[in-house]
Amino acid sequence: MRIDLAIVENSLDDVALIRAMLADNATASFDIRYVQRVSDLATLCSSTRPPDVLLLDLNLPDARGSATINQIRHDLPHVPVVAITSSVQDKTVLDAAAAGVQDFIIRGEFDGHSLAQTLNFAIARQRSNSTLFDQANIDAMTGLPNRFLFQDRLNHALQRANRTDETVALLFIDIDNFKNINEVYGHDSGNHYLCAIAHTFVTTVRDSDTVARLKGDRFAVIVEGLNYPQAAIDVAKKILAAAARPVELVEHTLQGSCSIGIAFHTEDKTKGQQWLIKGADTALKSAKSSGKNTYCTYTKALDRALVKRINQDSMLQCALSNDEFHLFYQPIVDTQTKRLVAYETLVRWQPPGKRPILPGTFISSLERLGLMRDVGEFILRKAIRQHVIWTDQHESSISVCVNISASQIADPNFARLVRSALDTYGLAPQYLSLELTEDQLINNTPDTRRVFDELSEFGVKFSIDDFGTGHNSYSYLKNFPISTIKIDRSFTRLLHVNRFDRAIARSLIALARELDLNTVAEGVENHIVLAELESLGPDALQGFLIGRPMTVERFEHRFMQPEAAAIATSPWPPELATASRVRR
């Protein structure tokens, strides 16, 4: 048996004596390398594989007792340490034993046999201890440090940072929509995905960084030795890019993403690991509420934002039962005739004594709180009921557009819910258009596709909002039964001065026409844009010039009353009458 022995000893005579003693040993052959200072040990071990055992002189000039042992145990966690000392009664020896030294030999009181035996026993004990250590400190599924070892590593990292001017960053990572992976593909696939993504994280960061699995799909990365905070942000960006790559499993290819919260141990180094953990957790929550697949760094302002969010969450819990959600209505008109052909329903939340709140502020909270299904059903039923009231009164054939969320379309019962609402109020399905954004289609599953197909066969229409802003816009047209695309205002509001926007808008309209799809140009906010769009020829127009989102009373007054029939049917509503004079 060959044993790789590293010696830390400043006396070359003692090193030569140890070599000679071990050379005559019959039980094992020793490959010996040595350094004369503790500070040189890291260089020695980094240049090749770690030794099997380490023999350390505790009386070296740069040895600092237990602090030295702690550093060695961190840098070489699986290498047993045997210490050379002048007396086992020395306090330094007691501190070293408490820090993890396996055994001691007294200078001048050992021979080759006893030394070899001590070294062999230390290796055997370390292997036994390593098994127990792994069971207590290593995550069995991924092989990463678990929460207990993570806390130990973080504590050591903060101690080292407090002795230097370097920065420690803590990154908390959550896998976005991991629950969906388990639900759609099963827990075995979910576990395989976690193992694969864990390996991705390890290979993305430096060897000196610690990657740990804390629980479920929550990971942590301890980034040490930073000279400036931006370096940790660079690490976060690399992790985001790596997590977005497809992961090949046995039966599936999954493409996911993650969210990252970052906290720095820089501003107040008197604060310990609990403060850093709380900061990283707060930043992670902010990243997830910002739309996921992003990172966020902790600031004191986030604490205030967290308090605000907690208060908002509490208010949202009872908002539906308190009838605080209201629908607003925005008209959509035919490009040529300017007649009303449809309208979009937009939800607003109005807590008591406050102004209406836009959905971008609270929809993600509804999703996170598990309230979106109930609120979404309320919006759908209320929109359909109001539409039936209006169309029955005026025998109109206009359509109603209702925004739905990703969680709604992913619900296997959603198709049944929609059909129930249509049957309850007696609305023909072809007059209902369900509207999603491109982002909501990214994590589509076979179940999602089945919901699309079932509702489409029933006669319900689908439209994509903000079309053209995503990475896979055209694939959605191919893979989903879409009937209408809504061209995002980023392509329309400046098309009269930006030839690229004009070219993109023209190409999208031409593509839709070739595929027999309807187009709605959004962002019609002035007469110049209106005239430009009239020349390009989308099927319909929507924007503040046509009409801002309105309450049910105002919309009814402008578009649904008999005296407003001229506005609803006249080729030139008063607010659009000047458009013909600015045509190109």
- What pLDDT is attached to residue 273? 83
For the chain, give the number of residues.
584
Please state the three-class secondary structure of 476-500 as a single string: HHHHCCCCEEEECHHHCCCCCCCHH
In angstroms, rounded to a whole number, what is the distance separating the alpha carbons of residues 365 and 508? 33
- Digitized pLDDT (tens) for each residue of the chain, 584 residues in all: 789 998 999 889 999 999 999 887 767 788 898 888 888 887 776 666 788 999 998 888 888 888 888 888 878 888 899 988 887 777 778 888 888 888 888 888 888 888 899 999 888 888 877 666 666 778 889 999 999 889 988 988 888 888 777 788 999 999 998 888 888 788 888 899 999 999 999 999 998 899 999 999 999 999 998 877 788 889 999 999 999 998 888 777 888 899 999 998 865 566 778 889 999 999 998 888 777 889 998 888 777 776 777 788 889 998 999 999 999 999 999 999 998 999 999 999 999 888 999 998 898 889 888 899 999 999 999 999 999 999 888 777 899 999 998 888 888 899 999 999 999 999 999 999 999 887 776 666 677 788 889 999 999 999 988 786 665 557 777 778 889 999 988 888 888 888 888 999 999 999 999 999 999 999 999 999 999 999 999 999 999 999 999 999 999 988 876 655 444 444 445 545 433 333 33
Q: Is the overall model pTM greater than 0.85, yes or no? A: no
First to last CA, the chain: 90
Give residues with Cβ within 8 angstroms of 214, minimum separation 6. Answer: 146, 147, 150, 172, 220
- What pLDDT is attached to residue 571? 44
Tokens of 369: 């709180």
Q: Kindly state the helix (H) or strand (E) to which residue 347 belongs, with its residue range.
A: strand 340-349
Give residues with Cβ within 8 angstroms of 470, minimum separation 6. Answer: 438, 439, 442, 476
DSSP states of 247-310: EE-SS-EE---EEEEEEEE-S-TTS-HHHHHHHHHHHHHHHHHTTSSSEEE--HHHHHHHHHHH
- What pLDDT is attached to residue 584? 30
- What pLDDT is attached to residue 443? 61
- Between CA 539 and CA 470, with CA 517 as vertex, the angle to 5 degrees is 100
In angstroms, rounded to a whole number, what is the distance separating the alpha carbons of residues 361 and 289? 10
Residues 88, 125 contacting (CB under 8 angstroms): no
Pick from 328, 333, 487: nearest CA to 399 = 333
Q: Between the CA of residue 280 and those of 174, 219, 273, 325, 424, what are the distances in Å? A: 11, 11, 10, 33, 48
94-98 own/partner pairs: CB under 8 Å, 24+ apart? 95/65, 95/66, 95/69, 96/58, 96/65, 96/66, 96/69, 98/66
| Count of other CB atoms within 10 angstroms of residue 497 | 10
Domains of the chain by range and CATH?
A: 2-137 (3.40.50.2300), 147-298 (3.30.70.270), 312-582 (3.20.20.450)
In angstroms, rounded to a whole number, what is the distance separating the alpha carbons of residues 93 and 175? 46
Q: Give the CA radius of gyration of the chain.
A: 34
